[in-house]
Amino acid sequence: MKTFTAYFVRHGQTMLNHYNKIQGWIDSPLTEKGIADAKRAGQQLKNIDFAAAYSSDSGRAIETASYILKANKENINIISYQYPEFREQCHGYFEGNDANQMWQFVGEQVQLTSESAVLGKYGLEKARDLIHKADLYGEAESNAMFWERLDRGFNKLRDNTHDGDQILVVSHGMTIRSIIDRYAPELDEGVPTINGSISKLTITDNDIKVDFFNKTDFVAK
Q: What is the pLDDT of residues 74-85, one digit of tens each?
A: 999 999 999 999
Helix (H) or strand (E) run with residue 102 in it: helix 99-107
pTM value is 0.97
pLDDT tens sequence across 90-108? 999 999 999 999 999 999 9
Domain residue ranges in the chain: 3-88+141-215, 91-140
Cα of first residue to Cα of last residue in the chain, in angstroms, is: 26
Q: What percent of the chain has pLDDT over 90?
A: 96
Query: Is residue 15 over pLDDT 90?
Result: yes
Other beta carbons less than 10 A from residue 26's beta carbon: 14
Q: What is the mean pLDDT of residues 168-183?
A: 98
* 39: three-class secondary structure by DSSP: helix
**Which residues participate in catalysis according to the annotation?**
11, 88
Q: What is the mean pLDDT of residues 22-32?
A: 98
Q: Is 44 annotated as a binding residue?
A: no
Give the pLDDT score at 1: 86
DSSP 163: T
DSSP 19: T
Q: What is the mean pLDDT of residues 149-167?
A: 98
Q: Is 60 annotated as a binding residue?
A: yes
Distance (Å, whole) CA 39 – CA 74: 16
Q: What percent of the chain has pLDDT over 70?
A: 100
Give the pLDDT score at 216: 97
Query: Is residue 43 over pLDDT 80?
Result: yes
Give the pLDDT score at 136: 92
Q: Residues with Cβ < 8 Å from 34, sequence gap 6 or more?
A: 11, 12, 13, 14, 17, 60, 64, 195, 196
pLDDT tens sequence across 202-213? 999 999 999 999
Instruction: pLDDT band for 219, please (50, 70, 90 cuts).
Output: confident
DSSP 202: E
Q: Is 12 annotated as a binding residue?
A: yes
**Looking at the domain covering 3-88+141-215, what would its CATH class be?**
alpha beta
Query: Is residue 198 over pLDDT 80?
Result: yes
Q: Is 13 annotated as a binding residue?
A: yes
Instruction: pLDDT band for 20, please (50, 70, 90 cuts).
Output: very high
pLDDT tens sequence across 112-125? 999 999 999 999 99
Give the pLDDT score at 220: 85
199: nearest Cα among 177, 215, 185, 179: 215
